[in-house]
């Protein structure tokens, strides 16, 4: 069985070893308590159950790998963050918000001593965990090493949980209400709204600094959106001309990352990920101000001889954090463009 325990779960190795004592089935579950969500369903990317009798009927290796989740999609949202390692589960770090340079000094003028301005960010890392346990009987009736496959998938399960955590924090970005549905088309084949105008507005809000961004000049380098928003974006008539001119690198299947080579957006990375929420929005992000606080990754393996069961658990400590201004009014490194998909 495979169990992934998400944000805010407090577990020990002993508790994990005991948790499956009364189970007669191999169970795979994604358990995520962030935001009050508890996800359990028949989608193997999220969780389901598998009986020992099911295992004996599975012969094709690729089918079993898909069942246990090895054929997971690529998770893209780590491209939106900058990782910062922490030795402890709580702490703080500082991000420079303004420089201390003088401009246009007169001849012989002595510059005043200026201090950099800093934004303090507090973090409190939580624990994500993936747990795999297999009975000897189940391993004996399968034609492939299901326990090894389950162990390999533990890292993939944690990657999925981390992607969801980043998406949850990204949804806290300061809103810019566009009122422009990129898929709206009153008169075919011409789209009603030009996405580049909305994207430019989000970039300008971050780049110009000033009081509306905590006096921080951010440099957004990523445009991120979910699958539905991307469909509206890439089929928009204002965008299609750039696609046909080769000025937009469309994400390839299996590698949903592309780029914009437009004069107004040089070197802007395009990230498409189905975990981005809400699906009706797009985001412009400066990874410098979107931090992924990371702690150690620990693992534990055990054997219950009386129950004839092997077990393995993998733990990861992390917290994604959008940097805000001193008054916590604005996220200085991200803007959410709302209403771009209906």
Q: Return the pLDDT at 155.
A: 81
Share of the chain above pLDDT 70, in %: 71
- Say whether pLDDT at 60 is over 50: no
Q: Return the pLDDT at 113.
A: 66
pLDDT in tens, 172-222: 999 998 789 999 999 988 999 999 999 999 999 888 777 766 678 888 999
**Token output for 106:** 């007169």
Q: Return the pLDDT at 173.
A: 95
For 42, phi then psi, to 5°, come to: -95, 0
pLDDT in tens, 283-319: 999 999 999 999 988 888 889 999 999 998 889 999 9
pLDDT in tens, 219-228: 899 999 998 9
Sequence ranges of the domains in the chain? 2-82+122-169+292-322, 173-290+325-338
Q: Return the pLDDT at 37.
A: 32
Rounded distance, CA 221 to CA 80, Å? 9
Greater confidence, 208 or 170? 170
Q: Check if the beta carbon of residue 55 is closer than 8 Å to that of residue 29.
A: no
Task: List the beta strands (DSSP E) in the chain.
Answer: 2-5, 26-31, 47-50, 82-85, 90-98, 117-124, 126-135, 174-177, 222-225, 248-249, 257-262, 265-272, 282-285, 290-304, 309-322, 334-338
First to last CA, the chain: 39
How far, in Å, are 181, 225, 270, 276 from residue 229 at the CA level? 9, 6, 12, 10
Q: Return the pLDDT at 73.
A: 53
Q: Return the pLDDT at 95.
A: 81
Domain 173-290+325-338 belongs to what architecture?
2-Layer Sandwich (3.30)
Question: What residues form DSSP beta bridges with 118?
Answer: 96
Q: What is the mean pLDDT of residues 237-261?
A: 72
**Token output for 40:** 């359990």
Q: Check if the beta carbon of residue 133 is closer than 8 Å to that of residue 18.
A: no
Q: What is the mean pLDDT of residues 59-85?
A: 64
**Which range is least confidently modeled, 235-244, 264-273, 292-301?**
264-273
pLDDT in tens, 77-88: 988 999 999 989
Question: What residues form DSSP beta bridges with 47?
Answer: 29
Rounded distance, CA 19 to CA 28, Å? 14
Q: What is the mean pLDDT of residues 112-120?
A: 70
Greater confidence, 90 or 62? 90
Q: What angle do CA 192, 196, 202 make, to 5 degrees?
A: 120
- Using 50, 70 and 90 to split pLDDT, how confident is the model at 15? very low
Number of H helices, E strands in the chain: 8, 16
Q: Return the pLDDT at 52.
A: 44
């Amino acid at each position: 069985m495979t169990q992934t325990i998400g944000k805010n779960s407090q577990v020990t190795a002993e508790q994990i070893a005991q948790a499956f004592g009364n189970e007669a089935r191999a169970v795979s579950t994604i358990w995520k308590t962030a935001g009050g969500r508890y996800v359990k369903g028949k989608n193997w990317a999220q969780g389901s159950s598998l009986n020992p009798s099911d295992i004996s009927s599975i012969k094709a290796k690729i089918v079993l790998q898909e069942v246990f989740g090895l054929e997971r999609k690529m998770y893209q949202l780590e491209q939106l963050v900058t990782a910062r390692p922490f030795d402890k589960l709580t702490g703080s770090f500082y991000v420079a918000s303004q420089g201390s340079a003088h401009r246009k000094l007169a001849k012989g003028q002595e510059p005043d001593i200026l201090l950099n301005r800093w934004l303090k960010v507090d973090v409190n890392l939580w624990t994500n965990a993936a747990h795999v346990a297999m009975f000897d009987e189940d391993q004996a009736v399968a034609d492939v090493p299901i326990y090894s496959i389950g162990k390999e998938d533990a890292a993939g399960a944690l990657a999925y949980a981390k992607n969801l955590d980043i998406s949850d924090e990204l949804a806290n970005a300061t809103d810019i209400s566009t009122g422009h549905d990129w898929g709206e088309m009153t008169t075919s084949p011409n789209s009603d709204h030009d996405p580049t105008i909305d994207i430019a507005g989000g970039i300008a809000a971050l780049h110009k600094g000033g009081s509306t961004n905590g006096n921080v000049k951010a440099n957004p380098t990523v445009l991120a959106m979910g699958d539905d928003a991307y469909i509206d974006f890439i089929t928009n008539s204002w965008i299609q001309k750039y696609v046909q001119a080769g000025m937009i690198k469309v994400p390839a299947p299996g590698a949903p990352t592309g780029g914009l080579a437009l004069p107004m957006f040089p070197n802007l990375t395009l990230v498409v990920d189905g975990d981005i929420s809400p699906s009706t929005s797009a985001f412009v992000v400066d990874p410098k101000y979107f931090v992924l606080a990371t702690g150690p990754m620990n693992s534990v393996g055990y054997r219950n001889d009386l129950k004839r069961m092997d077990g393995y658990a993998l733990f990861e400590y992390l917290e994604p954090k959008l940097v805000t201004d001193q008054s916590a009014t604005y996220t200085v490194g991200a803007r959410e463009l709302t209403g771009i998909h209906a």
